[in-house]
């Protein structure tokens, strides 16, 4: 089945390339753009149990972006981002071709970042104001990072603009992948769940399993001052492996402690609202996501939200962010305050302090990044 899907995507991709070439203008000269960056990161955490170290430095990201435009209306783009501990397929973030049919319709085929959260536009370290991404984006509980499929997108209007992006395709589950210099980011849910003494969690074998989905985003904006949007993500019903720690003597006197994995049927629908206000150098942006999750005929509510406020003063941008996350068994808040200093295109320095607030105890963290772009 997977090979058939890949063959269909390849066929559509070749068709787009042929059509794009046919639509090209005689005077157009092909354009190639190659950019990249290296991001080093320092982490220090206070109050985290069971970490090998509570501080460390590492290369957190190293990315390269290649854009090739053979015609005026056809673009090829690929983005590869190295992250420690990730597999190659997880590091190939984008690889697609996009055909501009007219001002209102673009057709994109290949692997692309999902348009569900506008924050995905700032997924890469040099263009993201903060040193860390919101939990909604980094934990992938509501939607994955990217998909292999087809997208129909476009926009219309000038002062008042309507934009849309509808897609369908396949994706790999990457829930709770560990990132950061000490590997804490991405593990928050499993960490707090273990601290609460919950014996049940999603087994790690769920990561990298394949599924298909459809969804999209529509947004209405007024000049650069205000934008409101709605997103929807519906994935095909799937099998989720649930792991349980069975204590000694639980099954019968003298039975050993063991870890048991059981597969269950699951279905999920996620949707969101987002809004952005910008006046001169002040920006306020927020999102609210909710997920209707059903596992083995039991309903669970997933909720997540964040709001971030930033103010640019020359080359310095201070910012604050508040986040709330509710999963099947864990609820917590995260507060972040930081500063972004960008003296030039090639250099960016970020530093922030964050506080996790959870019933099992608070966790403080200091994150600093130095980014070199080229």
Residue by residue, DSSP assigns 55-85 as EEEEEEEEEEEEEEEEETTEEEEEEEEE-TT
Predicted confidence (pLDDT) per residue in 309-363, tens digit:
999 999 999 999 999 999 888 999 999 999 999 999 999 999 999 999 999 999 9
Residue 46 located in a structural domain = yes
Let me know if 90 is exposed, middle or buried by CB neighbors in 10 A (0-12, 13-18, 19+): middle
Residue 22 belongs to some domain of the structure: no
CA angle 258-262-266, nearest 5°? 145
pLDDT category of residue 17 using cuts at 50, 70 and 90: low
pLDDT at 53 (0 to 100): 78
Structure confidence by residue, pLDDT tens digits, 167-224: 999 999 887 788 888 888 988 988 898 888 887 888 888 888 999 999 999 999 999 9
Residue 227 confidence (pLDDT): 97
* pLDDT tops 90 at residue 148: yes
pLDDT reported for residue 26:
58
- Give the pLDDT of residue 338: 98
Joined together, the tokens standing for residue 252 give: 């019968």
> 215 in a domain, yes or no?
yes
For residue 12, what pLDDT is reported? 53
How far is C-alpha 241 from the chain's CA centre?
A: 22
In a domain, 368, yes or no: yes
* pLDDT recorded at residue 120: 78
HSE-CB of 205 using CA atoms within 13 angstroms: 9
Supply the range of the domain harboring residue 362: 38-56+132-373
Q: What percent of the chain has pLDDT over 90?
A: 67
The yes-or-no verdict on residue 4 having pLDDT over 80 is no
What's the pLDDT at 7?
54
Mean pLDDT over the full length of the chain: 90
Overall average pLDDT of the 274-280 stretch: 96
Kindly state whether residue 278 falls inside one of the protein's structural domains: yes
- Determine, yes or no, domain membership for 5: no
Q: What is the CATH number of the domain that holds 219?
A: 2.40.160
The total of structural domains in the chain comes to 1
15 pLDDT tier (thresholds 50, 70, 90): low
In-domain check, residue 64: no
Return the closest-CA partner of residue 94 out of 19, 146, 31, 130. Answer: 146
* Cα(268)–Cα(227) distance, integer angstroms: 27
| d(C-alpha 125, C-alpha 138), whole Å | 13
**pLDDT of 9 strictly over 60:** no
Answer whether 16's CB lies under 8 Å from 10's CB.
no
Identify whether 296 is part of a domain: yes
- As a whole number of angstroms, the distance between CA 265 and CA 6 comes to 26
């Amino acid at each position: 089945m997977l090979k058939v899907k890949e063959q269909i995507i390849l066929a559509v991709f070749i068709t787009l390339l042929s059509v794009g070439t046919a639509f090209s203008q005689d005077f157009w000269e092909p354009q190639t753009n190659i950019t990249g960056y290296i991001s080093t990161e320092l982490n220090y955490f206070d109050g985290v149990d069971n970490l090998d170290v509570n501080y460390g430095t590492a290369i957190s990201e190293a990315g390269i972006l290649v854009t090739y435009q053979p015609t005026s209306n056809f673009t090829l783009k690929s983005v590869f981002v190295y992250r420690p501990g990730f597999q190659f397929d997880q590091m190939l973030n984008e690889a697609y071709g996009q055909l501009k049919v007219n001002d209102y319709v673009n057709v994109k085929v290949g692997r692309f970042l999902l348009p569900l959260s506008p924050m995905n536009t700032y997924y890469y370290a040099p263009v993201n104001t903060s040193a860390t991404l919101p939990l909604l984006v980094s934990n992938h509980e509501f939607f994955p990072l990217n998909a292999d499929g087809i997208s129909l997108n476009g926009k219309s209007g000038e002062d008042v603009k309507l934009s849309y992006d509808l897609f369908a395709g396949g994706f790999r589950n990457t829930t709770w992948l560990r990132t950061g210099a000490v590997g804490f980011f991405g593990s928050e849910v499993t960490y707090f769940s273990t601290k609460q003494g919950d014996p049940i969690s999603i087994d790690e074998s769920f990561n990298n399993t394949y599924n298909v989905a459809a969804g999209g985003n529509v947004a209405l904006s007024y000049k650069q001052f205000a934008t409101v949007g709605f997103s929807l993500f519906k994935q095909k019903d799937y099998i989720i492996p649930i792991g349980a720690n069975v204590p000694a003597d639980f099954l019968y006197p003298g039975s050993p402690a063991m870890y048991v994995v059981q597969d269950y049927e699951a279905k999920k629908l996620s949707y969101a609202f987002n809004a952005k206000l910008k006046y001169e150098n002040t920006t306020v942006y927020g999102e609210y996501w909710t997920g209707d999750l059903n596992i083995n005929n039991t309903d669970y509510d997933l909720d997540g939200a964040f709001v971030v406020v930033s103010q640019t003063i020359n080359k310095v941008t201070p910012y604050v962010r508040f986040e709330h996350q509710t999963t099947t068994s864990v609820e917590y808040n995260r507060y972040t305050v930081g500063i972004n200093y960008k003296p030039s295109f090639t250099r960016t320095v970020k530093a922030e302090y964050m506080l996790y607030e959870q019933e099992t105890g608070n966790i403080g963290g200091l994150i600093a990044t130095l980014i070199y772009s080229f």
